[in-house]
């Protein structure tokens, strides 16, 4: 596994280009190459066409309100394109992308520092949400835009047909999963259903993304901050060993192979479609799937509930998107105006509603209520999970290699049923220490 850490550095080449960009841009005192019209902002999001249509509508409203034009670029291969632009010392003015990428971008010198007081309406974003934009140096490098938390989606019609309650604990969830797999919940007389959908592939860190909630619920963490400003790995704790052992025994290495869907250990969210396909009964996932499942199954067929509790509670993984300003000068006023609009009640509502896919799930503006804006009480469940029972990946460090190495290790532990969980997590702990050392954060 030591080789695994050194073989995967997706941001390493970008770091060099980014640092070069930061030096050039900050030293020049003027716009970098290709800045164009000073009243036009180039804005990137990582989006496919459906959410891109929502962004188009939001940006059109901003331009109408302020006169500032938006050159909008929905980019699918975001990091590859960003690397290319960084190498030419010409980053986009504004980027909207995952919160977990902030540490990576900041460490590479790709972002401007942000003073929350400079963003009109920034005082309507709560301290917990603002805290997720703080880098290793204590400065803010992003503006919160959207947040979300994992919830458990359940085939309500199946559960009620079998006369079982909503699950409150891991054991309840396992009991329900076994019933969905073995008790013919769809009533067709065949054994063709599965208990739970699991995107357990190591690809792009999915096993860590899905498994994090169970680690949180078991009382475990992957890394934690130290008093002297660094981080240390803690993934070989007794709580982590217990949590991973429970998952391995009850979901992946059980004689009841239908507890999770076939191919779970090679599944990513793009091909883990058993829930909306109608042959799996539960899915711990993000709220962006609500609209998809409404269309595929119908609102009356499934329910959204807070995750069942493990030994340490029912915390789930939270994530979302931030607004980032590219490390360049000359358009600060326009960038701040756009950010202020995006986090305002008007901007947030526009991004949460309409016919195309919402790009704001849980509003960061504390004056708004998700259930009210969406006219859907299920979004209130998601908002409560975020506010009361959620933990984000630490995003001050570059978390990308940490998440990937964690996914590799979890996937291997779940794949080889004879493997030693404690030894596997100890090896992962050593690997994560190397990741942190690479970033000069191991303390």
Full pLDDT tens readout for the chain, 443 residues: 444 554 444 444 444 444 334 333 333 333 443 357 889 999 999 998 989 999 999 999 999 999 999 999 999 899 889 988 988 888 999 999 999 999 999 989 999 999 999 999 999 999 999 999 999 999 999 999 999 999 999 999 999 999 999 999 999 999 999 999 999 999 999 999 999 999 999 999 999 999 999 999 999 999 999 998 899 999 999 999 999 999 999 999 998 779 999 999 999 999 999 999 999 999 999 999 998 999 999 999 999 999 999 999 999 999 999 999 999 767 999 999 999 999 999 999 999 998 888 999 999 999 999 999 999 999 999 999 999 999 999 989 999 999 999 999 999 999 999 999 999 999 999 999 999 999 999 98
Domain harbouring 384, CATH code: 3.40.190.10
> How far apart are alpha carbons 193 and 178 in whole angstroms?
10
Whether 326 is covered by a domain: the verdict is yes
- For residue 45, which of 111, 99, 95 has the smallest C-alpha distance? 95
Q: DSSP string covering 208-231, please? A: HHHHHHHHHHTT--SEEE-TTS-E
> How far apart are alpha carbons 1 and 7 in whole angstroms?
10
Do residues 288 and 282 make contact, with C-beta atoms less than 8 angstroms apart? no
- For residue 344, which of 325, 365, 358 has the smallest C-alpha distance? 365
Structure-token pair, residue 42:
């180039």
Measured in whole angstroms, the distance separating CA 267 from the mean position of its chain's CA atoms is 17
- List residues bridging with 140 in a β-sheet: 114, 134
Do residues 436 and 232 make contact, with C-beta atoms less than 8 angstroms apart? yes
Whether 174 is covered by a domain: the verdict is yes
What are the φ/ψ torsions at residue 103 (nearest 5 degrees)? -60, -40
Whether 169 and 296 map to the same domain: the answer is yes
Whether 205 is covered by a domain: the verdict is yes
Whether 123 is covered by a domain: the verdict is yes
Whether 353 is covered by a domain: the verdict is yes
Count Cβ atoms within 10 A of the Cβ of residue 408 and give its class: 0-12 exposed, 13-18 middle, 19 or more buried. Answer: buried
- List residues bridging with 148 in a β-sheet: 319
Structure-token pair, residue 242:
């217990």
Residue 424's domain comprises 151-317+395-439
Among the three residues 369, 391, 413, which one is the final residue of a domain in this structure?
391
Count structural domains, the chain.
Answer: 2
> How far apart are alpha carbons 91 and 329 in whole angstroms?
11
CA dihedral 101, 357, 317, 392 (to 10 degrees): 40
Whether 303 and 418 map to the same domain: the answer is yes
Whether 169 is covered by a domain: the verdict is yes
Whether 323 and 255 map to the same domain: the answer is no
Whether 387 and 401 map to the same domain: the answer is no
Whether 21 is covered by a domain: the verdict is no
Whether 233 and 255 map to the same domain: the answer is yes
Strands 231-233 and 282-285, how do they pair?
Answer: unpaired
Whether 299 and 329 map to the same domain: the answer is no
Residues comprising the chain, all counted: 443
Whether 300 and 259 map to the same domain: the answer is yes
Cβ-proximal residues to 370 (8 Å cutoff; 6+ apart), any chain: 352, 361, 362, 363, 379, 380, 382, 383
Whether 229 is covered by a domain: the verdict is yes
pLDDT score of 7: 42
CA dihedral 47, 53, 54, 60 (to 10 degrees): 120
- For residue 132, which of 374, 403, 386 has the smallest C-alpha distance? 386
Whether 176 and 286 map to the same domain: the answer is yes
Whether 352 and 416 map to the same domain: the answer is no
Q: In 124-147, which positions are buried (b, 16+ CB within 10 angstroms) versus exposed (e)?
A: bbeeebbebbbbbeeebbbbbbbb
Cβ-proximal residues to 203 (8 Å cutoff; 6+ apart), any chain: 268, 407
Whether 293 and 430 map to the same domain: the answer is yes
Q: DSSP string covering 306-365, please? A: PPPBBTTB--EEEEEEEEEEBS--S-HHHHHHHHHHHHSHHHHHHHH-SSSPPS-SEESS
Whether 291 and 404 map to the same domain: the answer is yes
Whether 304 and 411 map to the same domain: the answer is yes
Between the two ends of the chain, the Cα-to-Cα distance in Å is 21
Cβ-proximal residues to 78 (8 Å cutoff; 6+ apart), any chain: 44, 46, 97
């Amino acid at each position: 596994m030591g080789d695994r850490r050194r073989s995967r550095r997706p941001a390493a080449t970008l770091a060099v280009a980014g640092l070069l960009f930061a030096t050039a841009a900050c030293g020049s005192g003027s716009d970098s190459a290709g800045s164009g019209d000073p009243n036009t902002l180039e804005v990137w999001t990582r989006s496919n066409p459906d959410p891109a249509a929502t962004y188009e509508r939001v940006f059109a409203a901003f331009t109408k309100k302020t006169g500032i034009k938006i050159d909008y670029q929905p980019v699918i291969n975001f990091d590859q394109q960003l690397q290319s632009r960084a190498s030419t010392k010409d980053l986009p003015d504004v980027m909207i992308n995952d919160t977990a990428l902030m540490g990576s971008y900041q460490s590479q010198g790709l972002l401007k520092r942000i003073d929350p007081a400079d963003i009109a309406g920034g005082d309507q974003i709560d301290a917990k949400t603002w805290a997720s934009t703080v880098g290793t140096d204590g400065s803010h490098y992003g503006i919160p835009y959207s947040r979300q938390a994992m919830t458990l989606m359940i085939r309500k019609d199946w559960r009620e047909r079998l006369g079982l309650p909503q699950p409150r604990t891991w054991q309840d969830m396992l009991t329900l999963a076994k019933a969905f797999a073995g008790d013919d919940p769809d009533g067709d007389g065949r054994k063709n259903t599965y208990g739970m959908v699991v995107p357990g592939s190591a690809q792009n860190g999915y096993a860590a993304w899905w498994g994090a909630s169970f680690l949180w619920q078991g009382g475990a963490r992957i890394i934690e901050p130290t008093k002297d400003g660094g981080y240390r790995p803690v993934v070989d704790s007794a709580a982590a060993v217990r949590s991973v052992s429970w998952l391995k025994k009850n979901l992946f290495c059980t004689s009841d192979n239908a507890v999770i869907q076939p191919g779970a250990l090679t599944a990513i969210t793009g091909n883990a479609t058993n829930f909306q396909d109608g042959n799996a009964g539960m899915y711990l996932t993000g709220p962006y799937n609500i609209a998809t499942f409404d269309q595929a199954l119908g609102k009356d067929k499934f329910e959204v509930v807070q995750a069942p509790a493990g030994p340490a509670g029912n915390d789930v993984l939270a994530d979302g998107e931030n607004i980032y300003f590219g490390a360049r000068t000359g358009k600060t006023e326009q960038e701040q105006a756009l950010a202020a609009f995006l986090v305002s009640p008007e901007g947030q509502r526009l991004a949460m509603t309409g016919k195309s896919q919402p790009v704001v799930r849980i509003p960061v503006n504390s004056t708004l209520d998700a259930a009210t804006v969406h006219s859907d009480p299920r979004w209130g469940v998601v908002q409560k999970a975020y506010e009361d029972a959620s933990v984000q990946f630490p995003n001050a460090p570059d978390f990308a290699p940490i998440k990937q190495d964690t996914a590799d290790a979890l996937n291997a532990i779940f794949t080889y049923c004879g493997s030693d969980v404690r030894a596997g997590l100890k090896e992962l702990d050593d690997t994560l220490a190397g990741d942190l050392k690479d970033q000069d954060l191991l303390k």
